[in-house]
Structure 1
Amino acid sequence: MDGDDGYFGESVAATYDRTESDMFAPDVVDTTAGFLADLAGGGRALELGIGTGRIALPLARRGVEVQGIDLSRAMAARLREKPGGDAIGVTIGDFARTRVDGTFSVAYLVFNTIMNLTTQEEQVACFRNAAAHLEPGGCFVVEVMTPELRRLPPGQNVVPYHVSPTRWAFDLYDVATQATSSNYIEVVDGRGEYRTIPFRYVWPSELDLMARLAGLRLRERWEGWTREPFTSESPRHVSVWEKPAGSP
């Protein structure tokens, strides 16, 4: 961990936007921002775990006022350095409990960020925090992977997803506790570096129960941002829960 910044300190923030992950593809970013802008409907948006602004900045360019919460000062600093970044307010803190002034039409967590909360208690608190920020009729959106337990043969707890002569990446699972971690080994100039980040995987049905505890109800669930049907084969889901009209 990098001090107060948790697992997303300067060493991660410095290279975060250089990843070759599909999540940075322009069409993915644009589609995600469009989905959220439609839900905002001219209202304000709150991003939990805003990071370096991958989604917040294009959402703001669509005319949506965006606020954010993030534990990492290093990630928030990268956001502020970008064009338009100084117009987005970022509150430093744990997004499961940190409050921001005012109410919002939409609050959202993207790219598995809900799993950065490593206990069920923290994940439940996050839903309650999101609900407390929403105006009646507002929506909470979560994009998260479907747990990949079908890839685990009996007796195995490791799922590798990148193997090359200089870089290895794999996930470790504990199916008894729903604890998992992403682990990275990289060799540069003959020297190895190891990094691990803990997560807690969570099922769609469990998220629905968390939403109900927070006074939210499921509005829609899709496989992705282009609204493909969610099925038993979907590797992830985008779920939208609504705060009923008339809620305090």
Structure 2
Amino acid sequence: MTSSELWDRASAERYDAEETEMSSAEVLGPTLDFLAGLAGEGRALEFAVGTGRVAVPLRERGVPVAGIEFSAHMAAVLRRKVDEETLPVTLGDMATTVVPGEFSLVYLVYNTISNLLTQDEQVECFRNAARHLAPGGRFVIELGVPPLRLLPPTQVAVPFDVSAHHIGFDTFDLVDQILVSHHLTRDGEDGRYRRSASRHRYAWPAELDLMARIAGLDLERRVADWTGTPFTDASAKHISVWRKPLRAGHRYFPAMVHT
């Protein structure tokens, strides 16, 4: 059984309304451009496809997309948007669930690999991606860079949003690489706040690169966002692309991976 926390029905029903900014054309446009360019004429597989925020519009662009999703409630919301024949979804965890066929692209967006709370499971996620990729195919992850340098001595919390409708902050367990994301969200017009929290395992880019090498994948590119901004030591997140070798025993070593 995966260590991922399961989205319940209530959380799944609220998800799209709470993520309207992430579903905007300004956010999704560059994401879809990036992913569609890598998929080319091939098929794409989204790990943790959720309610289809990315998969549905990517399919509308003509990319055949399939998904793996741990929460039946999230998948049920997606199914209201598109039928199974158009966008097939398999229920299961992204570290071990296998779907038929080969893909030119496997992708995992919006920090979702951090839902796997152990290093072993994250390694298995990379292996599962490699298992599904055709030779020359790519695995893409979007993940935040742990903001640990913002922590002065003895402090364990970092705020990431303070607004009229939402207060969010992360607390860190530096020994086990676990962060807990805390949310106070204003519901309705009565001024009440709903409290929620979720656990995540954070990982540095270099750690992910080692996971990729264990799975037989090579780093091809790393940028700071979906528009291709160069990745630097000040970047808050990264989009990383690893490639499966074209043939057994052949490794791909690009001359430059940060641009």
TM, length-normalised to structure 1:
0.92
User: 1:17 maps to which residue?
Assistant: 16
User: 1:133 maps to which residue?
Assistant: 132
Q: How does 1:169-248 map to 2 (within 5 A)?
A: 169-186=168-185, 189=190, 193-247=194-248
Gaps of 5+ in 1: none
User: 1:82 maps to which residue?
Assistant: 81
The CA distance in 1 between the partners of 2:207 and 2:179, in whole Å, is 17
Gaps of 5+ in 2: 250-259
User: 1:32 maps to which residue?
Assistant: 31
Contact 2:218 2:242 survives alignment (8 Å): yes
Contact 1:217 1:242 survives alignment (8 Å): yes
CA shift at 1:21, angstroms?
5.8
- The one-letter code matched in structure 1 to 2:248 is S
Deviation digits for residues 101-148 of structure 1 (CA, Å, limit 9, x no counterpart): 111000000010011111101100000000000000000000000111
The CA distance in 2 between the partners of 1:218 and 1:157, in whole Å, is 32
The CA distance in 2 between the partners of 1:187 and 1:61, in whole Å, is 33
Please provide the CA RMSD for this pair: 1.9
CA shift at 1:49, angstroms?
0.4
User: 2:148 maps to which residue?
Assistant: 149
SS at match of 2:104: strand
Deviation digits for residues 177-203 of structure 1 (CA, Å, limit 9, x no counterpart): 111111123465476543211000100
User: 2:113 maps to which residue?
Assistant: 114
Instruction: Say if 1:165 and 1:109 are closer, same or farther in 2 by CA, change over 3 A.
Output: closer
Instruction: Say if 1:186 and 1:19 are closer, same or farther in 2 by CA, change over 3 A.
Output: closer
* Greater displacement, 17-26 / 48-57: 17-26
SS at match of 1:182: strand
Instruction: Say if 1:187 and 1:57 are closer, same or farther in 2 by CA, change over 3 A.
Output: closer
- The one-letter code matched in structure 1 to 2:206 is S
Deviation digits for residues 216-247 of structure 1 (CA, Å, limit 9, x no counterpart): 00000000111110000011000000000013
User: 2:43 maps to which residue?
Assistant: 44
Instruction: Say if 1:171 and 1:205 are closer, same or farther in 2 by CA, change over 3 A.
Output: same
- The one-letter code matched in structure 1 to 2:8 is G
CA shift at 1:161, angstroms?
2.4
User: 2:253 maps to which residue?
Assistant: none
SS at match of 2:235: coil
SS at match of 1:144: strand
TM, length-normalised to structure 2:
0.88
User: 1:100 maps to which residue?
Assistant: 99
CA shift at 1:8, angstroms?
1.6
Contact 1:57 1:84 survives alignment (8 Å): no
Contact 1:49 1:70 survives alignment (8 Å): yes
SS at match of 1:34: helix
Instruction: Say if 1:166 and 1:22 are closer, same or farther in 2 by CA, change over 3 A.
Output: closer
Contact 2:5 2:115 survives alignment (8 Å): no
CA shift at 1:13, angstroms?
1.1
CA shift at 1:212, angstroms?
0.1
- The one-letter code matched in structure 1 to 2:232 is T
Instruction: Say if 1:10 and 1:142 are closer, same or farther in 2 by CA, change over 3 A.
Output: same
Instruction: Say if 1:247 and 1:106 are closer, same or farther in 2 by CA, change over 3 A.
Output: farther
User: 1:123 maps to which residue?
Assistant: 122
- The one-letter code matched in structure 2 to 1:205 is A
Contact 1:79 1:85 survives alignment (8 Å): no
Q: Larger % of helix: which? A: 1
* Greater displacement, 21-30 / 113-122: 21-30
